[in-house]
Structure 1
Amino acid sequence: LAGIVDVTLSGLSPDLRCTFDLACLQEESYREVAALQAIPIGTVRSRVNRVRTLLRARLKQEFADYAV
């Protein structure tokens, strides 16, 4: 599972990867991430959502044979 996540994250653009890393892996608040990257908080939200959507799709694809 960790390998799938790592491969998916490594394929992201640097902007998406950095935003996701700060917000989700390092658990910084969206406000802090926005300030650190000098971007609007809405951009932080959309980037995190985009990465979560990509991860969800990748995991569904990978584990489709195990679905109940």
Structure 2
Amino acid sequence: MAKWTADQLSTMVGVTVVITGAGGGIGLVTARELARVGAHVVLAVRNVDKARQAVAGMRGDFDVRRLDVADLGSVHA
């Protein structure tokens, strides 16, 4: 059985996705690949500056927002 790869993603033009923890690691890779196929990607992160730097060189439609899921005030905002 062949393994699935991100190259098999279908177009996501017109779709908005929110990814928590997308400032690095697998969340950032997921954000990159979804943007590559046309999604508007909202990165919900604790460190906004780090996330903005991470996506600065990437092609795609990104929006970086502060979110700390351990802080209910942050979640409400």
For the criterion TM > 0.5, the same-fold answer is no
**Superposition TM-score, scaled by structure 1 size:** 0.28
Higher helix share: 1
Higher relative contact order (CA 8 A, sep 6+): 1
Higher strand share: 2
